[in-house]
Amino acid sequence: MRIVFVSDRNDSHRDRFVEFFGTLTSAFVSVDMSEINTVCEQKSSAKWSSIDEFKTYLSSKPTILISGPLDSVTKLLRGGDYLHIGISWATDLMVYSAANSNNLEEVSKTAKELDLVFVDNYPCENALIAMGVNAKDIVRVPWGPELGLIPEVKIARGEGRGLGSMRKILFGRTLAPHYEPEIFLKAFALLAKEVDDVYAVLVESGPFAKKVNELVIEHNLESRVIWEEEKSENEFLKLIQEADIFVSTPKTDGTSVSVLQAMHLGVPIVSSETNGSAEWVIAGITGWTFPKGDFVQLLEVLKNVLSTSSSTKELITQNARTLIYARAGWANSKKTMSDRIFAMIEENT
């Protein structure tokens, strides 16, 4: 049976899915939504002139369509003569659906028509159940790290780049409004006035990078911020390993691969309290948390982590590692997905 994967995203998550689904069958096709004319502002490079024409292509032979996010892609492709698996990107449920009743009804209708839905955390699973999706049709697959591929060699923190014994706090998320890097900078600006030996590390990645640089200047932090170029996955893992603290400040979140990577690498995690992160970052047990959007509380948490004894930090980071190994390996998630997909193929051939 043919498997067709469609998304409108161009990120590491999409790349992971393309690589994985491509191993399941030789009859695999990956489609970007820009290749369908009606949703890409009449681009001449489109392979199909309309959604209906694309659905006809999907129905031309036995097909499993896998699409996501639910709000921007899956909703446009529902109702065809093919098996349909939706993938939630978390924001489609936690942000788009929650914004207003029209969005909620739209995504609810889409989800209930699907044969399966893949989600990456319990809050999204519960949201779908609340919308009326049968629990047996929801597959929870954390987008966690590829545990066996993460380098285990520890880098001595506080060394390298001419920083001597300076401690480094890594803002480990993309510089985009959704992840609220300004909350981190406000907290760090106050921290830098109180603690002499800390540096912030920012990666130049995301649409908010220029604005964040302006905020660095506005807060007089040029001498206390290290800018890193966008990294490959392995390079980013090394950057995480060098950090003394990994900070994540989104206003809403699913299962963050970078957060789980840092937990696996034994780096103390400070995260805003979101539905998605609460599943992994448990205050005092696997990490440290603060109310989302509250930079004053973030400041206090950062000071707390910096002053916490090595033995306590080791206990908490080891707890985090244990949790990730038990519940979040990408290999386990791939097996879960492939088992359900092959079961669907067997049932329909």
pLDDT digits over 161-192, tens only?
Answer: 444 468 999 999 989 888 999 999 999 999 99
CATH of domain 147-327: 3.40.50.2000
Q: What per-residue confidence (pLDDT) applies to 148?
A: 58
Rounded CA separation 281/279 (Å): 6
Q: Where are the alpha helices (DSSP H) in the chain?
A: 12-21, 51-58, 75-77, 91, 97-99, 101-113, 122-131, 181-194, 209-218, 233-242, 257-264, 275-278, 295-307, 310-327, 330-347
Q: What per-residue confidence (pLDDT) applies to 142?
A: 87
CATH 3.30.420.10 fits 2-143+330-347, yes or no: no
Q: What per-residue confidence (pLDDT) applies to 47?
A: 86
For residue 154, pLDDT beyond 90: no
Residues facing 247 on adjacent strands: 171, 270
How would residue 256 be classed by pLDDT, with cut points 50, 70 and 90?
Answer: confident
In this chain, the answer to whether the domains covering 2-143+330-347 and 147-327 adopt an identical fold is yes
Which of these, 18, 330, 343, lies nearest to 149 by C-alpha position? Answer: 330
Tell me, yes or no, if the pTM score tops 0.85. no
SS3 165: coil
Domain ranges of the chain: 2-143+330-347, 147-327
Contact by Cβ (8 Å): 270, 305: yes
Q: Which helix (H) or strand (E) segment is 255 a member of? A: none
Q: What per-residue confidence (pLDDT) applies to 157?
A: 52
Contact by Cβ (8 Å): 188, 169: yes
What tokens does 84 get?
């349909």
